[in-house]
């Protein structure tokens, strides 16, 4: 994501360093790097925030700027969203995270997403400084979101059309996920046929040929990796060792 187009994440009067650090991690998950803090309760820098950021997300905290007021933290911001379940008595448009972040991606200027303190959320004076409200459609019986969860949700909605559309299809060692070739499949079939013959599986003799044919057909149908083939060979050796 281009840094000049990224929305700025503004945390207003955050109370716990751990939540600031977790928010930094959530931001970096979706390529967001600019954090602004307004009156963090426990001061700044905060060792608990650094510990929670854990590694790479520390760069977000290193670049974080601290402001005395939200008005000052809005420097250079052209459009701001206030995240709150309240404040609807103010005359402002209300959006879901998805529609709000669609607007942020399309906006020609710099956008900000404003989050309130963990215990109380944003006050009306804070919300009044935003252009629009973002409200998450959650269970009305339990509408509370952790600060970092809220940041993660907004980051995901912002990045969903900018980051890869699908996750990597494979994890693990490359040699374990490579497709098994026909020779490897053939040798696996030979190994099973040999052991099953020793165990008397192909019985009665009049059906043995069709049973062997069905097994060969089954191996050919399976989408096995080289790792799968090694595991199946190992399982068979272990089962027949005695």
Q: Could you tell me where in the chain the CATH 3.40.1280.10 domains are found?
A: 3-159
Query: What's the count of helices (H) and strands (E) in the chain, helices before strands?
Result: 11, 7
Residue of 19 and 144 predicted with greater confidence: 19
Domain 174-240 matching CATH 3.30.1490: the answer reads no
Residue-wise pLDDT tens digits, 95-112? 999 999 999 999 999 999
> What is the pLDDT at residue 140?
80
> What is the pLDDT at residue 177?
77
Residue-wise pLDDT tens digits, 131-186? 999 998 888 888 778 999 999 999 999 988 777 666 655 555 666 678 889 899 99
Categorize the per-residue pLDDT at 38 as very low, low, confident or very high, splitting at 50, 70 and 90: very high
Residue whose tokens read 């991690």? 25
> What is the pLDDT at residue 169?
59
The fold of 3-159 is Alpha/beta knot (3.40.1280)
Which is nearest to 12 in space by CA: 123, 86, 143?
A: 123
> What is the pLDDT at residue 219?
92
Contact 31, 163 (CB under 8 A): yes
Judged by DSSP in three states, 61 sits in: helix
Q: Give the pTM.
A: 0.69
> What is the pLDDT at residue 88?
57
Q: Could you tell me where in the chain the CATH 1.10.8 domains are found?
A: 174-240
> What is the pLDDT at residue 242?
63
The mean predicted confidence, pLDDT, of the chain is: 88
> What is the pLDDT at residue 5?
78
114 contact partners, CB below 8 Å, separation of at least 6: 10, 12, 70, 80, 81, 82, 83, 122, 126, 129, 130
């Amino acid at each position: 994501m281009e840094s000049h187009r990224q929305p700025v994440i503004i945390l207003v009067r955050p109370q716990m360093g751990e939540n600031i650090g977790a928010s930094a991690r959530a931001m970096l998950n979706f390529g967001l790097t600019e954090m602004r803090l307004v009156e963090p309760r426990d001061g700044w820098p905060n060792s608990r925030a650094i510990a929670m950021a854990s590694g790479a997300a520390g760069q977000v905290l290193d670049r974080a700027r601290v402001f005395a007021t939200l008005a000052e933290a809005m420097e250079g911001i052209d459009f701001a969203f206030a995240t709150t379940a309240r404040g609807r008595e103010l005359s402002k448009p209300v959006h879901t995270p998805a529609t709000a972040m669609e607007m942020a991606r399309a906006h020609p200027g710099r956008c900000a997403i404003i989050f309130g303190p963990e215990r109380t959320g944003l006050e009306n004076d804070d919300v009044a400084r935003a252009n629009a409200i973002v409200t998450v459609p959650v269970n009305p019986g339990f509408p509370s979101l952790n600060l970092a969860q809220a940041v993660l949700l907004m980051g995901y909605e912002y990045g969903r059309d900018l980051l890869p559309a699908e996750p990597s299809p494979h994890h693990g060692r490359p040699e374990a996920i490579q497709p098994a070739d026909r020779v490897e499949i053939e040798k696996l079939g030979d190994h099973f046929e040999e052991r099953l013959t020793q165990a008397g599986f192909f019985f009665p003799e009049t059906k043995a040929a069709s049973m062997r044919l069905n097994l060969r057909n089954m191996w050919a149908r399976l989408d096995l990796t080289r790792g799968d083939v090694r595991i199946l060979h190992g399982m068979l050796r272990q089962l027949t060792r005695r």
